[in-house]
Structure 1
Amino acid sequence: MSAVAEETTRPCPQCGTRIRVDRRFIAWCAACDWNLDPQPPQPEPKRFARAEQALARRHGEQLLAEMLSGAEPRPRRDAPAVLAVALALAVHGVTVVLAVVGVWCAVAGRGGPGTFLGLLLLAVAAVLVPRFPKLPDDRPVLFRADAPELFALVDEIAGVVGTRGVHAVVVDERVNAAVTTYGVRGRRLLVLGMPLWEILTPEERIALLGHELGHYANGDTRHGLVVRTAVRSLSLWHHTLRPLPDPSPAEMVVNVLYVLPRLLVRGVLALLLRLTARAGVRAEYLADRLAARVASTQAAAALMDRLLIADSLGVFLRSESGKAALGGSRSTREAAARADELWGALTAYTASVPEYEYERQRRVGARRGHRVDATHPPTHLRRTCLLDGPHVEAAVVLDADRKHRIDQEVAAARTEVARRILRDGFTG
């Protein structure tokens, strides 16, 4: 895919207005919205997904109105959040009970049927026990000693948003970024997608870090270990208790016995999602506000525009990896040079994306609403919240020298990720 704009004009087939056309992007009409979203309709979501979408839509619009009115959002430990944690603890309590009863049955059964039942209960409890994520062993991981300037920037931004920094940074190939935890002690982890990091200006990079660290500052209940692992356990139960397909007479009996437990699990899971829905949407708005505080309102809004073209960037990277595969094997030096060239080509491609493609993506987001992602408010609402609210200037500035030092610290990871994309294809 070329990084050079190839624009022509032609009349809109619906209203006749002259429209600009770049063969790399979907042709559409801003006057009548012809061909705005030509993708086939999304399949009808399942019940849980529909419920999440409805809740996210309602809470997204309500919280937008609150944010623009100047009202402060509820404290992060409001009644629904407290109930969600209590319900999640009860779910984990079931796992503990299964383990305790399993041990008792295994010991008291003395090799008989009771022992078999005990071992079965212990196996179920082992599956449901909360897992503590580990650092990936197949992606570059940076610690403070590896990238002191990057961690100093993260610490400075964390201080502005009202939290603390991270213990490690993982660099991967996604056009995204995230924060999470790893290990039993819940150490903080920042995941930086190098394709996204590469295309951002220094101001937008600060906004990205401010948004992600803002999730720690806001205490997003749904991303907490207790609630997140409880949702996982309930989802696993719900999947396990699904009706057996094409059942035999004996399996029909099992399906009947599954009905009530499945309905109970479904109800608890739906309640947990409902209790955390508002907190999740609220956390995104507040993280955006914190991104604006550290990087400026304009930088935070510009970051959202970059995220709008994530799919187009993915298409470009897949195209480049396909070309690399056709080129066959290369020497180590040639492969490293090709990896560095990839980022330059991606940056040039991003710079060539026309404004009317960004506008199309904004309108598509407004039309689709929460049909694509029920965990975030639609981008057009988040952008409105920033641009229609109070404008603020940057509290943290990344000058050229500091940016250069950070680029040097992540250079090895940058090359490794590019080589992985060219060798294995883009899957982010």
Structure 2
Amino acid sequence: MPVDSRFAAWCGVCDWNVDPAEPAEEPGRLARVRRTLARRHGERLLAEVSAGGALRPGKDTSALLAHGIALAVHGVTVALVAGGVWCVVGGWGNPVVVVAGLFLVALGWSLRPRLPRLPKDALLLYRADAPALYGLIDEIARVAGTRSVDVIAVDADVNASVTTCGVRGHRLLTLGLPLWETLEHRQRIALLGHELGHYSNGDTRRGAVFGTAYRSLTIWHYYLEPTEDPAPLEMLANLVYLVPRSLVSGLLMLLDQLTLRSKQRAEYLADSVAAQAGSTEAAVELLDRLLVAESVHIALRRESIRLRALPRSAGRSEGRQDGLWEVLAAHVESIPEHEYERQRRVGARRGHSVDDTHPPTHQRRACLLVGAPVPAAVVSDADREQRIAAELADARGQVARQIVRDGVDG
């Protein structure tokens, strides 16, 4: 067995110790149902793709039904507010009716649709701040068949994501520098292709109507949770809440049933855009890098602790973060192949137990490797990479200082 003290020792023949820290079973019937549905849809979808089936974006009957339910959920919220206002206005002078009306208005207000907003405390880059990076994203957006992003947020997460903010629909790309700085040029293009692919692949769950309704239902579910070790009055409340709680749980399960297939298909479609933009090889390499994201997180935390421990009297109080990204990139380059293979096998064993919305990484790799490899449609030369690095230089310094100052969660 190959042994590296930084990683678990395991046997590639019998899989001994391949997953020494198996995840704890998440409690709750809803969570178990979600995992079961995710596994069923994921295996069926992968079988279709492996058999030569085509992945096509768009809304199917299930997605349309999910949107209908979402509109009904918003209708209930509107009815609560309208009923509360009617009680306050029509029952003025009757304290009981007014209090009931105010309660309905407050309840409806807490359930109101809330669109994501641009993060106030994040480091935002606009087109004038990073023209070369935006130019690269524009080129990838054309490959994805969608428009580009309006603003880029840079943070300290080992992740990347896209969302739509506000009533004007501003597109926000969030780039986690700990992930970006550990990727090679082609892998970065594949990463951007994957994220932009979410804008063009018909992902039902990313829609404003569905997303806000799903949030309202989860708030309802929280409000109706039974009290543990209840007193007599709380026992009565638990009984009263039984029927509405069952209804909300049933709606959440139904929405999962209607949209999980669409969600997983959207991930496969986003991976296909990543392959079109950066090549199949780069998209597969990107998935492998995501497999070791936890190792990157641990290395980042360890290095931030080491840098914070440096003596300030040595003139390092302002420059302690120097070299953070280089150390992190060197760590990722030093991860042996047998650790990547272990993580692939861990993903196959755990399946959807960790994330019931994304297909497991080993299934996404298998889907990418079906058929002939796709060459890169977007190529970045050394000059462009240098210009992008220069545009991100200030952000690299600010995020590194934040990591050293505040540490890393987890």
Range class of TM-score, shorter chain: over 0.9
Corresponding residue for residue 217 of structure 2:
234
After superposition, what is the alpha-carbon deviation per residue over 1:15-44, rounded to whole angstroms, capped at 9, x for unaligned? xxxx11111111111122111111155224
Secondary structure of 1:72 counterpart: coil
Alpha-carbon spacing, 1:288–1:336, altered in 2? closer, same or farther (3 Å) = farther
Corresponding residue for residue 11 of structure 1:
none
After superposition, what is the alpha-carbon deviation per residue over 1:200-240, rounded to whole angstroms, capped at 9, x for unaligned? 11100000000000000102001111111111111111111
User: Normalising by structure 2, what TM-score?
Assistant: 0.96
Alpha-carbon spacing, 1:124–1:196, altered in 2? closer, same or farther (3 Å) = same
Counterpart among 121, 134, 148 of residue 131 in structure 2: 148
Amino acid paired to 1:226: V
Counterpart among 177, 181, 188 of residue 194 in structure 1: 177
Counterpart among 316, 321, 324 of residue 304 in structure 2: 321
Corresponding residue for residue 166 of structure 2:
183
Alpha-carbon spacing, 1:164–1:134, altered in 2? closer, same or farther (3 Å) = same
After superposition, what is the alpha-carbon deviation per residue over 1:300-335, rounded to whole angstroms, capped at 9, x for unaligned? 00000000100011111111111123225479x845
Counterpart among 375, 383, 406 of residue 401 in structure 1: 383
Residues 159 and 179 in structure 2, CA contact (< 8 A), matched pair in contact too: yes
Aligned mates of 2:365, 2:228 — CA distance in 1: 46
Residues 140 and 192 in structure 2, CA contact (< 8 A), matched pair in contact too: yes
Corresponding residue for residue 339 of structure 2:
357
Aligned mates of 2:379, 2:142 — CA distance in 1: 14
Aligned mates of 2:59, 2:188 — CA distance in 1: 30
Amino acid paired to 1:114: V
Amino acid paired to 2:327: A
Q: Give the C-alpha shift of residue 191 in structure 1.
A: 0.6
Alpha-carbon spacing, 1:410–1:25, altered in 2? closer, same or farther (3 Å) = same
Corresponding residue for residue 389 of structure 1:
371
Residues 335 and 419 in structure 1, CA contact (< 8 A), matched pair in contact too: no
Corresponding residue for residue 67 of structure 1:
49
Secondary structure of 1:20 counterpart: coil
Corresponding residue for residue 125 of structure 1:
108
Alpha-carbon spacing, 1:343–1:335, altered in 2? closer, same or farther (3 Å) = farther
Secondary structure of 2:379 counterpart: coil
Q: Give the C-alpha shift of residue 340 in structure 1.
A: 3.4
Is residue 2:81 matched to residue 1:99?
yes
Secondary structure of 2:171 counterpart: strand
Runs of 4+ in 1 over 6 A off after TM superposition: none
Residues 131 and 229 in structure 1, CA contact (< 8 A), matched pair in contact too: yes
Counterpart among 289, 302, 309 of residue 272 in structure 2: 289
Residues 63 and 262 in structure 2, CA contact (< 8 A), matched pair in contact too: yes
Counterpart among 68, 76, 95 of residue 58 in structure 2: 76
Aligned mates of 1:137, 1:308 — CA distance in 2: 30
Aligned mates of 1:98, 1:41 — CA distance in 2: 40
After superposition, what is the alpha-carbon deviation per residue over 1:163-220, rounded to whole angstroms, capped at 9, x for unaligned? 1111110111111100011122221100101011001111000000000000001020
Corresponding residue for residue 6 of structure 1:
none
Counterpart among 399, 404, 410 of residue 422 in structure 1: 404
Counterpart among 49, 53, 61 of residue 31 in structure 2: 49
Aligned mates of 2:119, 2:334 — CA distance in 1: 34
Aligned mates of 1:123, 1:158 — CA distance in 2: 42
Alpha-carbon spacing, 1:34–1:188, altered in 2? closer, same or farther (3 Å) = same
Secondary structure of 2:174 counterpart: strand
Alpha-carbon spacing, 1:205–1:257, altered in 2? closer, same or farther (3 Å) = same
Alpha-carbon spacing, 1:336–1:245, altered in 2? closer, same or farther (3 Å) = same
Secondary structure of 1:273 counterpart: helix
Counterpart among 142, 145, 161 of residue 144 in structure 2: 161
Paired residue total: 409
Q: Which runs of 5 or more structure 2 residues have no equivalent in the other structure?
A: none
Residues 308 and 320 in structure 2, CA contact (< 8 A), matched pair in contact too: no
Aligned mates of 1:335, 1:347 — CA distance in 2: 23
Amino acid paired to 1:274: Q
Q: Give the C-alpha shift of residue 111 in structure 1.
A: 3.3
Amino acid paired to 1:184: V
Amino acid paired to 1:174: D
Amino acid paired to 1:276: T
The 10-residue stretch of structure 1 (259-268 or 45-54) with the greater mean CA deviation from structure 2: 45-54
Q: Kindly report the root-mean-square deviation, in angstroms, between the aligned alpha carbons of the 2 structures.
A: 1.5
Alpha-carbon spacing, 1:142–1:321, altered in 2? closer, same or farther (3 Å) = same
Aligned mates of 2:233, 2:93 — CA distance in 1: 27
Amino acid paired to 1:409: E
Q: Give the C-alpha shift of residue 162 in structure 1.
A: 0.6
Amino acid paired to 1:100: A
Residues 23 and 354 in structure 2, CA contact (< 8 A), matched pair in contact too: no
Corresponding residue for residue 310 of structure 1:
293
Alpha-carbon spacing, 1:317–1:249, altered in 2? closer, same or farther (3 Å) = same
The 10-residue stretch of structure 1 (346-355 or 130-139) with the greater mean CA deviation from structure 2: 130-139
User: Normalising by structure 1, what TM-score?
Assistant: 0.92
Corresponding residue for residue 89 of structure 1:
71
Residues 336 and 415 in structure 1, CA contact (< 8 A), matched pair in contact too: no
Give % identity.
57
Corresponding residue for residue 7 of structure 1:
none
Amino acid paired to 1:218: N
Alpha-carbon spacing, 1:171–1:109, altered in 2? closer, same or farther (3 Å) = same
Secondary structure of 1:100 counterpart: helix
Aligned mates of 2:116, 2:109 — CA distance in 1: 16
Secondary structure of 2:320 counterpart: helix
Secondary structure of 1:105 counterpart: helix
Amino acid paired to 1:358: Y
Q: Which runs of 5 or more structure 1 residues have no equivalent in the other structure?
A: 1-18
Q: Give the C-alpha shift of residue 75 in structure 1.
A: 4.7
